[in-house]
Amino acid sequence: MMGKVMSPGFIPQVRASALQTFMNVARFVRLDPYSLLRQNKIRPEDLEDPETMIAASALVKLYEDSAAQSGREDFGLLIAGSRSVGTLGPISLLLRYQPTVRSIIEKVIGNMKLLNDIVSANVDDDGHHAMIRIEHLPGFAQRQIIESTVAIACRSWRELMAGAWQPESVHFRHSAPTMLNTHRRVFGCPVVFDSEFDGIGCSSASLDLANPWSDPAMAAHAQRFIDMLSHQRPTSSVTEQARQAIFLLISSGNATKEKVAENLAQHPRALQRMLSRENTNFGELLNEARRELAMRYLNGSKQTVTDIALLLGYSTVSSFTRWFTEEFGKSPAAWRKSSPEDNITKVTAKAA
């Protein structure tokens, strides 16, 4: 991880419920769950209370280690496949009584900090087709946690709508695994790899399907309870919120200071003043996002350099190549041909 990936003193966390099915899944793929937990400095007793908050970095590494040691590229999906909406905790009560899928998703987005500190999302809806873009903080965007997060979203929204809502497609920036059986079973729709975003596609009309369990009075009671819980968790810094907004908007070409400020309900000048108080600025955050995404696309997808340039907001391949070479000391094509060890050395040297 390089640059200002997170604000000083901010340690991203996730609810221990993310590991509720870990023990059984680990045994299913013939792993020793206790050994893996120890390796990643997670105490088994922390899994007993789903409301316990654990370090997000430990959970992400645990998922990746489990996938590598078991040889199961679908490990994150196996974790998600047996989780119900109830494992989301108190927020599940609020979601249960919302009137439509759209309002369910809006409540998830608005209360994400009750679930974790590393995921953000937004909805791009043109009136015909909607894309729910799901982003992870820089340094946490690994295959297993990304696929698990998207799968949990699909599973939860289906369950809340008694199966009436279904995704039209699921998207991942990374390339396809060797076997797709689990992906087909879990998602039940086309899965697009080497995509421009991580997330879910569905019709606009499906977002407005009526929830059979909708109850305004119960939703209001649940909201008051959630509001009480929200005040108990620290709010992430403006830097973190701006960084998440940039990641959400960049692939659609909207990662401008004005659009990011709009996403955060701020005037652009006000946003810049707030960022200055945290010793950063919009240009630095945009550059960090481009660095993170450039490495992810080049390392984990089959996107062409031309496509990557466009996804990162460059109008020409030459301008992207020039920027990339200045940042990493080699061209995008040379980066892809180099060994991961050599590339890590380049990144480390740049950060130093």
pLDDT above 90 for 109: yes
Three-state DSSP class for residue 167: coil
Q: What local confidence, expressed as pLDDT, does residue 5 receive?
A: 42
CATH 1.10.10.60 residue window(s) in the chain: 238-351
pTM of the model: 0.78
| pLDDT tens, residue by residue, 224-248 | 888 887 665 555 678 887 888 888 7
Least confident of 92-101, 195-204, 261-270: 261-270
**What average pLDDT does range 251-265 have in this prediction?**
84
Structure letter (DSSP) for residue 160: H
User: In whole angstroms, what is the distance from residue 318 CA to residue 297 CA?
Assistant: 17
Over its C-alpha atoms, the chain yields an Rg (Å, rounded) of: 20
Q: What local confidence, expressed as pLDDT, does residue 102 receive?
A: 97
| pLDDT tens, residue by residue, 150-200 | 999 999 999 999 889 999 999 999 999 999 999 999 999 999 999 999 999
> Which residues partner with 200 through β-bridges?
132, 170
Q: What is the DSSP string of 213-257?
A: T--HHHHHHHHHHHHHHHTTSPPPPHHHHHHHHHHHHHTTT--SH
Q: What local confidence, expressed as pLDDT, does residue 178 receive?
A: 93
Question: What's the mean per-residue pLDDT of the chain?
Answer: 88
Of residues 311, 350, 6, the one with CA closest to residue 171: 311
* 176 or 252, greater pLDDT: 176
Are 262 and 277 in contact, with CB atoms under 8 Å apart? no
Q: What local confidence, expressed as pLDDT, does residue 230 receive?
A: 67
Q: 238 is written with which tokens? A: 């403006």
Burial (CB < 10 A; 0-12, 13-18, 19+), residue 351, is exposed
Q: What local confidence, expressed as pLDDT, does residue 51 receive?
A: 83
Cβ atoms within 10 Å of 340's Cβ, excluding its own = 8
Longest dimension (CA), the chain: 60
Of residues 56, 53, 65, 55, the one with CA closest to residue 15: 53
Mention every residue, 6+ apart, whose C-beta is less than 8 A from residue 38. Answer: none
User: In whole angstroms, what is the distance from residue 129 CA to residue 187 CA?
Assistant: 18
| pLDDT tens, residue by residue, 41-88 | 898 988 888 888 888 999 999 999 999 999 999 999 999 987 888 888
| pLDDT tens, residue by residue, 136-152 | 988 899 999 999 999 99
Are 280 and 4 in contact, with CB atoms under 8 Å apart? yes
The domain 238-351 having CATH identifier 3.40.50.2300: the answer here is: no
Structure letter (DSSP) for residue 85: G
Three-state DSSP class for residue 134: strand
Instruction: Give residue 345's pLDDT band: very low, low, confident or very high (50, 70, 90).
Output: low
One-letter amino acid identity for 281?
N
Of residues 126, 147, 128, the one with CA closest to residue 136: 147
Mention every residue, 6+ apart, whose C-beta is less than 8 A from residue 238. Answer: 264, 271, 274, 275, 277, 278
